[in-house]
Amino acid sequence: MTRITISLKELERTALRALAEKEFRDPRQQAALIIRQELERRGLLTVQNTSCPIEVFSTIPPKVKPETK
């Protein structure tokens, strides 16, 4: 897997972390999923033309947080 570095403003980083936490993902996985979904939306990628493991994240539902009483 290739690594890239993306610079985010503080507000963007905070929003990414909040979304990742809400969906029970690591922020890096969340960012990869967002990029993947946008590339698919724009027609630049399809599930068939990639071996990128991130496609797994879009098919697995988020973990359910156990209820605490």
Residue partners of 32: CB distance under 8 A and separation at least 6: 54, 57
Does pTM surpass 0.85? no
Query: Is the pLDDT assigned to residue 50 strictly greater than 50?
Result: no
pLDDT digits 0-9 by tens, 27-48: 999 999 999 999 999 999 997 5
What is the average pLDDT value for the chain, to the nearest integer?
83
pLDDT digits 0-9 by tens, 1-33: 899 999 999 999 999 999 999 999 999 999 999
Domain chopping of the chain, boundaries = 10-59
